Amino acid sequence: MTHAPIDWLLEGDPFIAYRTRLDLLGQAEHDPAVQASRQAMLRDPRLKTLLAELADWPGVVIASHKSASQPFHKLTFVADLGMKASDSEIAPIIQRIMAHTSSEGPFSLPMNIPTAYGGSGDEQWAWALCDAPLIVYALIKFGIQDDPAVVAAIEHLVELVRDNGFPCAVSKTLGSWRGPGRKQDPCPFANLAMLKALSQTHVWRDSQAARTGAETLLSLWSDSSERHPYMFYMGTDFRKLKAPLVWYDLLHVLDVLSSLPWLAHDARLHDMLAVLTSKADAQGRFTNESIWTAWKDWEFGQKRAPSRWLTLLAWRIIRRLDKV
């Protein structure tokens, strides 16, 4: 495959140039060019809008965890950009998150599960394994992985793993409610969310829980024509490239699994990688095949032309696995 289009990436929005310098060029955070890109990123009005929304954490209740407008998806995005707890805009958000720490450990959100889906129909503070790990992931990326509250949250979530991976699990405030699947099945997105968090800390990255979750996702890939627990498929829609990393799709799964060094030689992972690389154009650029309309104001919110952010995400995965 051709080389990463570095010059083209650096010509993009400051947030893309910033992550390109860090993730593909390996430049240090204190490098003047890196800092210049970061300062320009912080001036981006779209990022300012996101941070202003998150300052009102947790914001408006959204029923669907898949909604790209969910505050916790926006939280992981700004964490992926490289925002830190030391940034003036982030510290107040962290305080608001921790103000709703559940008695079990994970951080809660206001939820309203309709009665039609087995819920109470009332708003209540709760957490589920398809949101709690993502909040933990963001807090770790912000640089507070050693905070006792973060440690307690992840320790509780890890204990939920079973022999076949992480299930659809929720806080005790939601009672017996769970997603639309068999109780004994693993939840694919819960496994992805948990691995996303576990991959960011040396304490858990190589744990048995992480290995079990990874094996769950890889085996679902191998058996994708037969197994669809909780109605998560790995078919045509799953394989469409899409940014940012919000739900259960090829790019998101690859991004998480490729960050686990001990999976580097796994043939199933490289089979997934081959699907990704086959979508590059002659210049090594990638184009969104599906979009989240909630992100239409960002350069990756269109399918008309190659996306620099999508291309960066793809090449970050390729670089990780090309080292083997």
* Full 3-state SS string of the chain: CCCCCHHHHHCCCHHHHHHHHHHCCCCCCCCHHHHHHHHHHHCCHHHHHHHHHHCCCCCCCCCCCCCCCCHHHHHHHHHHHCCCCCCCCHHHHHHHHHCCECCCCCECEEECCCHHHCCCCCCEEECECCCHHHHHHHHHHCCCCCCHHHHHHHHHHHCCCECCECCCCECHHHCCCCCCCCCCCCCHHHHHHHHHHHCCCCCCCCCHHHHHHHHHHHHHHHCCCCCCHHHCCCCCCCCCCCCCCCCCCHHHHHHHHCCCHHHCCCHHHHHHHHHHHCCCCCCCCCCCCCCCHHHCCCCCCCCCCCCHHHHHHHHHHHHHHHCC
Asked if residues 141 and 188 have their Cβ atoms less than 8 Å apart, the reply is no
* Residue 324 confidence (pLDDT): 43
Asked if residues 194 and 209 have their Cβ atoms less than 8 Å apart, the reply is yes
Distance CA(247)–CA(312), nearest Å, equals: 18
Which of 186, 70, 232 lies closest to 138, judged by CA? 70
Distance CA(69)–CA(77), nearest Å, equals: 11
Asked if residues 65 and 130 have their Cβ atoms less than 8 Å apart, the reply is yes
Asked if residues 119 and 177 have their Cβ atoms less than 8 Å apart, the reply is yes
- The dihedrals phi and psi of 305, each to the nearest 5 degrees, come to -145, 165
* Residue 59 confidence (pLDDT): 86
Distance CA(221)–CA(233), nearest Å, equals: 9
The reported pTM is 0.95
Residue where the block lists tokens 């184009």: 287
**pLDDT by residue for the chain (324 residues), tens digit each?**
679 999 999 999 999 999 999 999 999 999 999 999 999 999 999 999 999 999 999 987 666 787 888 999 999 999 999 999 999 999 999 999 999 999 999 999 998 766 665 666 677 899 999 999 999 999 999 999 999 999 999 999 999 999 999 999 999 888 776 777 788 989 999 999 999 999 999 999 999 999 999 999 999 999 888 888 768 889 999 999 999 999 999 999 999 999 999 999 999 999 999 999 999 999 999 999 999 999 999 999 999 999 999 999 999 999 999 864
Q: Is the peptide bond before 58 cis (omega within 30 degrees of 0)?
A: yes
* Residue 118 confidence (pLDDT): 60
Cα 190 to Cα 107, 186, 193, 249, 321: the distances in Å are 15, 8, 5, 13, 24
Asked if residues 142 and 79 have their Cβ atoms less than 8 Å apart, the reply is yes
Cα 165 to Cα 154, 162, 259, 291: the distances in Å are 16, 5, 18, 29
Question: What is the CA angle 220-226-230, rounded to 5?
Answer: 65
How many other CB atoms are there within 10 angstroms of residue 176's CB atom?
8
Which of 214, 220, 192, 222 lies closest to 262, judged by CA? 214
